[in-house]
A and B are shown apart, each in its own frame.
Chain A
């Protein structure tokens, strides 16, 4: 036991000092999930480490030195831009003046500055893939996107253009920061979703040719690429089904209170048919549930779950509806008469 303890003490120290390998980080995460006492130890190390960071940052950063490094960088940029500006003002007559060499070198500098600007202007794209579970990501403008497991989002490291553009494959819930000067645009297939400041759920997985968008708050406009004039506006509580093959869109009132339960953790059932309950639970918990033939078709459930584990939810259903629930090999089976 003592040896084990010392191994994790070392591992924890290495983690906070940035010395752990990706594999070690994985094993640390696994160790933490085993016992809340491990988390407590983690926290104590973390607090200790943070205090040393605070102290180190306060005492070992020489702000004058840092500023002189920064000043050099920005002054370099400013003088280059000045050269480009002054070159534009020069009249052709200048080229005929005495110092031909000077003119040539200024033009050279301007060309180099232009290349510098063009290469720094192309943004680097970031791709985020929710491999192991739902994943939350903060975008460069502060917007937050929560990806459903298996989904991918792509966006630039800097939103530099006149729009904030992201590409989505899969499903995600967006909380977009309000900025009318730079509308937020989500692309999935050929569909564009333009938002001003809002939160909404986009599902590009419904079936191969359908995309669904449900709006939580704010306002969005949906249109097909290059066809912004034929847009569909969604208000909170409304749902749009977009058929990419027929290039059509329909609007309806959203009747599924659990459309983003996978993200919020709150599931509401109100006289909901058991089949639908199962479909929702399968999605939220990413589980496989089988319904036995013996269970009646009229079985309905009224209940609300808030951040509860799959086992707890199953237990409640079992007791409320008088059903037998068994799990084997990751498949949960529901059996019984249903009350």
Chain B
């Protein structure tokens, strides 16, 4: 039984951290909370390193724990709604698979998204970047740019609308793939 030592722990951390953040964020829809949840799960894994069975699939162990903690976070923050979660098909905690397979698609996607963002009017783009890449909340963005929260809301909606249209073909392709798998 191989011990989970510091080196191996670091390798696991560096390999899995981003994908696990993606998984947590799918559930909690809050980038900071997701990051904290994943960090906590890793600390917990380290604390249990002597008692954990090395033959276990560490990745699915982490994913299950993180999925569970994410649901609890939703519950604690009164954002839990069964029917919406069902719609999002979040009962499948193996969502961790989805970041894995597309290293190629990632750069392509990244370029497409960057291009679409650059097409936005300036204020709109500013708001969008602060939200998605600086993980700021609506209120924080409003304070920073000295505009109202309502304006932030409107700009975000506009941005997502624009992205939705630009990514429509890409999305259709992804949904097709998902459907094929289900068959």
The answer to whether the Cβ of A93 comes within 8 Å of any Cβ in the partner chain is no
Cβ contact within 8 Å between B29 and A54: no
Cβ contact within 8 Å between A66 and B174: no
Cβ contact within 8 Å between B83 and A33: yes
Bound-state CA distance A56–B174 (Å) is 18
Find B82's partner among A59, A74, A135 (CB 8 Å cutoff): A135
Cβ contact within 8 Å between A14 and B153: yes
Shortest distance between the CB of B175 and any CB in chain A (Å): 7
Which residue of chain B is the closest to A132 with respect to CB atoms? B82
Bound-state CA distance A46–B88 (Å) is 8
Q: Which A residues, 9 to 60, have Cβ-Cβ distances below 8 Å to chain B? A: 9-10, 13-20, 22, 25-26, 28-29, 32-33, 39, 42-60
The answer to whether the Cβ of A264 comes within 8 Å of any Cβ in the partner chain is no
Tally A-B pairs: CB < 8 A: 159
Per-residue CB contact flags for chain B residues 124-143 toward chain A (1 = under 8 Å, else 0) read 00000001111101100000
Q: Is the interface of B mostly helix, strand, loop or mixed?
A: helix
Cβ contact within 8 Å between B26 and A53: yes
A16 / chain B contacts, CB cutoff of 8 Å: 29, 160
Shortest distance between the CB of A186 and any CB in chain B (Å): 18
Cβ contact within 8 Å between B93 and A138: yes
Find A18's partner among B10, B14, B30, B46 (CB 8 Å cutoff): B30
Shortest distance between the CB of B44 and any CB in chain A (Å): 7
Q: Is the interface of A mostly helix, strand, loop or mixed?
A: helix
Which of A33, A56, A157: most chain B CB closer than 10 A?
A56
The answer to whether the Cβ of A226 comes within 8 Å of any Cβ in the partner chain is no
The answer to whether the Cβ of A331 comes within 8 Å of any Cβ in the partner chain is no
The answer to whether the Cβ of A158 comes within 8 Å of any Cβ in the partner chain is yes
Q: Which B residues, 137 to 183, have Cβ-Cβ distances below 8 Å to chain A? A: 137-138, 153-154, 156-157, 160-161, 163-164, 167-168, 170-171, 174-175
Cβ contact within 8 Å between A74 and B65: no
Known: A9-B157, A17-B29, A138-B68. A63 touches B17 (CB 8 A): yes
Cβ contact within 8 Å between B46 and A77: yes
The answer to whether the Cβ of B8 comes within 8 Å of any Cβ in the partner chain is no
B75 / chain A contacts, CB cutoff of 8 Å: 126, 128
- Add 7 more A-B contacts to A60-B133, A66-B13 (CB < 8 A): A13-B153, A25-B81, A52-B132, A63-B18, A132-B82, A133-B82, A138-B68
Closest 10 CB pairs of A and B: A18-B29, A18-B30, A47-B171, A22-B78, A48-B164, A142-B64, A13-B157, A74-B46, A57-B22, A10-B157
Name 15 interchain pairs, CB-CB below 8 A, sorted by A: A9-B157, A18-B29, A19-B137, A25-B81, A29-B84, A48-B160, A53-B22, A53-B25, A57-B99, A61-B18, A66-B35, A67-B10, A77-B46, A140-B65, A157-B68
